[in-house]
Structure 1
Amino acid sequence: MKNETPYKPSSGFGMLAIAFLIFAAGVAGLAITRNPYFGILFILFLFMLPGFFVVQPNQSRVLIFFGDYRGTAKENGFFWVNPFFTKKKISLRAHNFDSERVKVNDKLGNPILISVILVWQVEETYKAAFEVNDYTHFVRVQTDAAVRKLANTYAYDNFEDDSEITLRSGMEEVNHDLEGELSERLAIAGIKVIEARIGYLAYAEEIASAMLQRQQATAIVAARYKIVEGAVGMVESALEELNKKQIVDLDEEKKAAMVSNLMVVLCSDKSASPVVNAGTLNH
């Protein structure tokens, strides 16, 4: 496989001066001698003009001579090469690509909508020019393929095992894998991946409502678990303090009633309504 070869073309300013001298000589020869052979100088002048070109910052020109790759000019400036050279322009600037949202299935088979933001630039001009047909189209297609593979590798979310990496919770690891996958795919076109990350992630519309209810239910259960855990500790602490300070003597039946009342008060999602007991503890 051929690789990129640097090419240093001739200065365009020097060749431009020569071209104008040839043009001036042709004009002077025709004006003074009236010899039609000086018209050849005009033809030579016109022949030299296609050889001039400009390379802007972060741009390059791939030079081809009748199908033979001669090199890549990356130096900025005004240059001249053989007029028969084909000069293919390839940008070396960083490109930002925001992919379309695609519907794919995650690891668990749930339909999701996902898109990525990719920052890339051409690193090997030879591969970008000759290894693929259209390197910009190649980036779009391979990005779409990488996104689909990534979605099939991870679950959108896991409600049972918090340690498992998912698309929603493991963004750093997922983005790292996405960069690696894209770098491997785009290397054939001489393209360097600067950054790749998930730009949009959501459940598909047909299951979004059900999954939202599931997430809410999971959050409510987790919150209730914490409330119950804290309430049990508070009840336990209250009974220990009452027993230690001998404020009241409670038998097992009264302890059970007290625990029941405290658990209802502490675990309820509404404020408790106080009831004044006008009798004794036994009534």
Structure 2
Amino acid sequence: METKQITQKEIRPVNGILMLILITIGIVAAIALIILGAFFLNDGSTAAGVAMLVVGILGTIICPVLYAGLKVVGPNEALVLTLFGNYYGTILKQGFYYVNPFATYNNPAYMNALEKAKAAAASVETEKGRRGSSGSVKVNAKKTISLKDTTLNNGIQKVNDVMGNPVIIGAVVIWKVIDPTKAVFNVEDYTEFLSIQTDSTIRNISRMYPYDLLQTEEHENSTEKTLRGSAQEIADNMKTELSKKVEFAGLEIQEVRITHLSYAEEIAAAMLRRQQAEAVIAARAKIVDGAVSMVKMAIDKLGEEEVVILDEERKAAMVSNLMVVLCSEKDTQPIVNSGSIY
């Protein structure tokens, strides 16, 4: 069953200051009518006195109720209102306004914050009774819907990369509400909805890439993306997929950034040894390639300039000696041969 789509309707409410003055004047006038009605009853004008008393009493009852229609909307905030269960409209501009006093606000994040605060307060009271300590719980959410850029710190979670290796990854999401009506009516709690969708997106995208490639010659010029080497591109993919998932809730994803990336503890030591071995192999390969080119250059140079004429056996001995000198990890000790090579 598809969720009913509600189109956002911006309302143009009455100026709140003007209505505040009029309501206050109405209360003062109602009190004055009650006083005048009492005087008229004392003077014998029963009909006029009763009428004034009735109007004055009704005014003192109705006018205070009208104060409920006064609403304050701050900068970069919106107020979504319902009237008797039906969508009434949304106030998108900051200011002090007056709307139908029976119209009520809707902000699931605020209501959930209240419920969590009550549960936390009950827990604090229980702990206070046990330990004799005191504590307080604050609700930071507002009745209005914030349209400001907000940061969601998704923390860290364990996922498997494309090779099945367990990886610890964390990300932050910069987001904001662009359609407060959808945020209120299309999902139960848009903040919790975003958090769950972020977890799902990070897990789905991370399992499509390896953590890192082997440091071998065949992978040196590889264009394959990895979690470690292509963090920005993968974060952009996460942003694209997450944007599609939360568009239904009236949310816009500004940016996704990977803040933490590492192997899981159970394989971190093994992967470190593997990386060290790969680095040693890669370094050795570079050293050997350089040594071979240097030996070849030396032999060719000696032959071209006819410094010395070497047969194949002497060339082999020279190659062996030069390779030992160039590839050895320790300084070689030269030995001067004063006799014949044979």
TM bin (shorter chain): over 0.9
- Is it true that 1:209 corresponds to 2:269 in the alignment? yes
- Which residue number corresponds to residue 53 of structure 2? 36
Paired amino acid for 1:74: L
> Where does residue 245 of structure 1 map in the other structure?
305
TM-score by length of 2: 0.79
Q: 1:62 pairs with 68, 80, 91, which one?
A: 80
238-247 or 52-61: which moved more? 238-247
- For residues 1-16 of structure 1, the aligned pairs below 5 Å read 1-16=5-20
Q: Which runs of 5+ in 2 are unaligned?
A: 39-51, 107-143
Residue number among 209, 220, 231 corresponding to 2:291 in the alignment = 231
Alignment check: 8 A CA contact 1:155 1:167 kept: yes
| Partners of 1:139 and 1:281 in 2: CA distance | 83
Task: Tell me the SS of whatever aligns to 2:100.
Answer: coil
Equivalent residues of 1:178, 1:197 under 8 A apart: no
Alignment correspondent of 2:281: 221
Q: Deviations over 1:152-198 (max 9, x none)?
A: 11111121643211111122321121011100111121110000122
Between 4-13 and 75-84, report the one with greater CA deviation.
Answer: 4-13
Pick one of 153, 158, 163 that aligns with 2:213.
Answer: 158
Partner amino acid, structure 2, of 1:232? V
> Which portions of structure 1, spanning 4 or more consecutive aligned residues, are displaced by more than 4 angstroms?
none
Whether 2:99 is the aligned partner of 1:81: answer yes
**What is the identity, as a one-letter code, of the residue corresponding to 1:52?**
L
Percentage of identical aligned residues: 42
In the aligned structure 2, how far is the partner of 1:39 from the partner of 1:149? Answer: 65
Matches within 5 A, 1:111-190: 111-159=166-214, 161=219, 162-190=222-250
Once the two structures are overlaid, the 10-residue window that deviates more, 149-158 or 201-210, is 149-158
Q: Any conservation in 2 of the 1:97–1:118 contact (CA below 8 Å)?
A: yes
Gaps of 5+ in 1: none
Q: Secondary structure at the match of 1:100?
A: strand
Letter in 2 for 1:242: L
Amino acid paired to 2:247: A
Aligned match of 1:107: 162
When the two structures are superposed, what TM-score results if normalisation uses the length of structure 1?
0.95
Q: 2:112 is matched with which residue?
A: none
**Aligned alpha-carbon RMSD (Å):** 1.4
What's the CA shift for 1:39? 2.3
Measure how far apart 1:281 and its partner are. Answer: 4.1
Contact 1:118–1:196 (Cα < 8 Å) also in 2? yes
How many residue pairs match? The answer is 282
* Contact preservation (8 Å) 1:121, 1:191: yes
